[in-house]
């Protein structure tokens, strides 16, 4: 697999990261709207325009720094506003709203695998453009798998934490709210100690190889493309 320049890596990663984060947030807002809470719709957040969802630090700075300095990439957008009081059954519906984000990322991972297949199919005809499609598809599988699995961790303010809060007795809600204040710090500690990668990497590899099998691509091809995206040798 050919070596990529930093500029080409940024171009390849930009669309998958923006779409992964944006669709994740829109999915939360859309499901909340379907369940009776129009807060996100009223705020103009039910749109795929990434400008409406971009968090300067989480959507731009953090992914860029991680791309340059690590073999891992993650990010976040501005959370879509949800008002539980406007939901029909707040505790149940908040869990459904929370699960909508990771579910959208799983769907996108599958769609990006089809982009890889498309790039391979047209490789002879369009050459360099097909190579970009292939790498972009692999990046899309990677980032959406991370967003899906990471957000399912049972830690506030992640989606898994909101699902856990909905399942626990109401008396636990204040304790979960206190934990949420330190949620980002805990996530960063897990990241820098390697514990987060220990959990995520096997799952990412499994999903990537499974999708490779479904579209008829060699698992070695997926792993080598992923290695090229991070400059691994």
Encode pLDDT of 58-68 as tens digits: 888 888 888 77
pLDDT at position 187:
84
- Mean pLDDT score of the chain, rounded to an integer? 89
Structural domain includes residue 16 = yes
Question: What is the average per-residue pLDDT within 147-161?
Answer: 92
| Long-range Cβ pairs for the range 168-173 (8 Å, 24+) | 170/91
Query: Is 190 a domain residue?
Result: yes
For residue 1, being part of any structural domain is answered with no
Distance of CA 17 to the CA centre of its chain: 7
144 is a domain residue? yes
Options 2, 3, 25, 180, the catalytic residue:
25
pLDDT at 4 over 60: yes
Instruction: Decide if 2 is catalytic.
Output: no
Classify residue 200: in a domain, yes or no: yes
**Does the structure show a pLDDT above 70 at 125?**
no
Instruction: Give the count of domains, the chain.
Output: 1
What is the reported pLDDT for 233? 41
Predicted pLDDT of residue 2: 63
Structural domain including 92 reads 6-229
Which residue in 88, 90, 100, 94 sits closest to 46, CA to CA? Answer: 100
Distance CA 148, CA 165 (A): 18
Q: Give the Cα separation of 93 and 79 in Å (integer).
A: 17
């Amino acid at each position: 697999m050919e070596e990529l320049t930093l500029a080409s890596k940024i171009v390849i990663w930009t669309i998958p990261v923006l779409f992964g984060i944006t669709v994740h947030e829109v999915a939360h807002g859309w499901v909340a709207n379907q369940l009776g809470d129009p807060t996100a719709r009223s705020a103009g957040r039910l749109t795929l325009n990434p400008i409406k969802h971009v968090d300067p630090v989480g959507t731009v700075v953090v992914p860029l720094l991680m791309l340059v300095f690590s073999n891992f990439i993650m990010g976040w957008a501005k959370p879509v506003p949800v008002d539980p009081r406007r939901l029909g059954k707040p505790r149940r519906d908040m869990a459904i709203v929370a699960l909508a984000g990771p579910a959208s990322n799983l769907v996108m991972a599958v769609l990006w695998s089809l982009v890889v297949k498309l790039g391979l199919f047209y490789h002879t005809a369009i050459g360099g453009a097909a190579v970009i499609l292939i790498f972009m598809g692999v990046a899309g599988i990677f980032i959406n798998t991370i967003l899906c699995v990471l957000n399912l961790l049972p830690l506030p303010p992640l989606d898994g934490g909101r699902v856990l809060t909905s399942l626990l007795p109401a008396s636990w809600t204040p304790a979960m709210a206190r934990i949420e204040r330190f949620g980002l710090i805990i996530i960063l500690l897990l990241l820098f100690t390697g514990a987060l990668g220990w959990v995520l990497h096997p799952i990412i590899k499994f999903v990537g190889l499974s999708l490779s099998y479904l579209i008829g691509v060699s698992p070695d091809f997926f792993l080598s493309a992923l290695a090229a995206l991070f400059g691994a040798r």
